[in-house]
Structure 1
Amino acid sequence: MNVIVPPLPYPVDGLEPHISRRTLVAHYGSHHVTCVERTRALIDRTPLESASIETIVQASHEMGKPVLFNAASEAWNHSFYWSCMHAAGGGEATGPIAELLEASFGSQCAFREQFIATAAAHVGSGWIWLVLEGEGLRVVATSNAKTWLVAPSTPLLALDAWEHAYFLDYRHRRVDYVNAFITHLANWTFANENLLAARDRRVDRPERWKAVASAAAPDIPIRAGGGY
């Protein structure tokens, strides 16, 4: 099977103090693993058994198979999310996306305010996305396991708004978690790579999230049987 848990692009304690080692061990080593295991079980001995995770997400969406879609889309969303963070990230964006943020939102400060407000206003579990739509950027929220992978616009950055992504560190203070993400962790290099790839079409959109994840975190204890 091609459905795997890709390595983290930083050590398991590489996002501290904003996201703790304890959170990453639980989130990456249990929740993400569970999504992958569920997906693999559902595609076992089916025509999708050797398909990529992107193909499985698209196919399950088009065929109206919500159980498979939920598992596969959460697996994809998590892999994308890990690359959206960097220990030296956050703050003012640089590169091509900086100009587009200012053109789309008026200023980078206004973008950050809208991103935090969107996450704060979102009810329940889900994801907050910065997406390229046409020639501009939008901040959008999706509920539960829905993914922007199946939308016509292109995801550039994502934040996991499920409670398990922040509860161990922030309890019910979601806004503090979102503020830490956008202030200290947002990986603008990854967002720029996604933007440039979308503009020149040299990389197929569904494969783009794989480009940044590289450095493994071999000391994470991968635990089966976790869940949402």
Structure 2
Amino acid sequence: MAYQQPALLYAENALEPFISAKTLGFHYGKHHVAYITNYNNLVAGTPLDTMSLEEVIAHSAADPQKVGIFNNGAQAWNHSFYWNCLTPNGGGEPSGELGAKITEDFGSFDKFKEELKSAAATQFGSGWAWLVLDGTTLKVVKTANAQTPSTSGQKPILTIDVWEHAYYLDYQNRRPDYVATVIDNLLNWEFAAENFRAAQ
């Protein structure tokens, strides 16, 4: 049961000028595709082939014999999630339940923003910065490489990809500029609110 790459909900140039069509073409069209292809090849003909991607990630997370399956499967999932965290004309502040919960748990939206920026900028090497629901509390966490919060029992609400392939063509070594631009202009708070409602 091969995992299929979800279609983008926007055109490859729809995030310009903040993320270029060239970056999205390489990132979605090559990097993400490679993770999915590798994952499908690794699980083909094994008992894992009948499991969902989420089940395989949970099953392989702590098994050193399945590190290749985990890395490619988790990266396939992380990227599918990340594309939905971006939207043309995004950014701003969330309203409703999620907005209130962010203010409650972080003190203010601005404090949340600073914490997310810091996590994304200080993740050493490749990885991800996340807004997660941990029990009943919203937290900002960062994960290295292919790691994903679900393997720690946390529920992902929103993420920013800080692998170099996510930003280097547009921002070179200026990761903080990329992160600030995504937060201010592209974050999809409607998608985050749906995840928050489902996670409670």
Bigger proportion of residues as helix: 2
For 1:5, the equivalent position in structure 2 comes to 5
For 2:130, the equivalent position in structure 1 comes to 129
Answer whether contact 1:36 1:75 (CA < 8 A) is retained.
yes
Structure 2 unaligned blocks of 5 or more = none
In 2, the alpha carbon distance for the partners of 1:30 and 1:156 equals 25
SS of structure 2 residue aligned to 1:49: helix
How far apart are residue 75 of structure 1 and its match?
Answer: 0.3
For 1:182, the equivalent position in structure 2 comes to 183
Aligned partner letter, 1:160: D
In 1, the alpha carbon distance for the partners of 2:169 and 2:145 equals 19
1:71-101 CA distances to partner (integer Å, 9 max, x unpaired)? 1000000000000011121121112110011
Establish whether residue 153 from structure 1 lines up as the match of residue 145 from structure 2.
no
SS of structure 1 residue aligned to 2:4: coil
In 2, the alpha carbon distance for the partners of 1:149 and 1:159 equals 16
How far apart are residue 149 of structure 1 and its match?
Answer: 2.4
Q: How does 1:30-41 map to 2 (within 5 A)?
A: 30-41=30-41
Q: Number of residues paired by the alignment?
A: 199
Structure 1 unaligned blocks of 5 or more = 200-228
Identity of aligned residues (%): 45
Answer whether contact 1:2 1:53 (CA < 8 A) is retained.
no
In 2, the alpha carbon distance for the partners of 1:197 and 1:10 equals 24
Aligned partner letter, 2:108: S
Q: How does 1:74-223 map to 2 (within 5 A)?
A: 74-199=75-200
The structure 1 segments of at least 4 consecutive aligned residues displaced by more than 6 Å after TM superposition are: none
How far apart are residue 159 of structure 1 and its match?
Answer: 0.7
Give the number of the structure with larger relative contact order, counting CA–CA contacts within 8 Å between residues 6 or more apart: 1
- Over the residues paired in the alignment, what is the CA RMSD in angstroms? 1.0
In 2, the alpha carbon distance for the partners of 1:46 and 1:136 equals 38
SS of structure 1 residue aligned to 2:55: helix
In 1, the alpha carbon distance for the partners of 2:82 and 2:69 equals 20
Aligned partner letter, 1:146: Q
What TM-score, normalized by structure 1, do the two folds share?
0.85
How far apart are residue 62 of structure 1 and its match?
Answer: 4.4
SS of structure 2 residue aligned to 1:150: helix
In 2, the alpha carbon distance for the partners of 1:3 and 1:169 equals 29
How far apart are residue 60 of structure 1 and its match?
Answer: 1.3
What TM-score, normalized by structure 2, do the two folds share?
0.96
1:169-190 CA distances to partner (integer Å, 9 max, x unpaired)? 1001000110011101111101
In 1, the alpha carbon distance for the partners of 2:6 and 2:172 equals 27
Answer whether contact 1:2 1:52 (CA < 8 A) is retained.
no
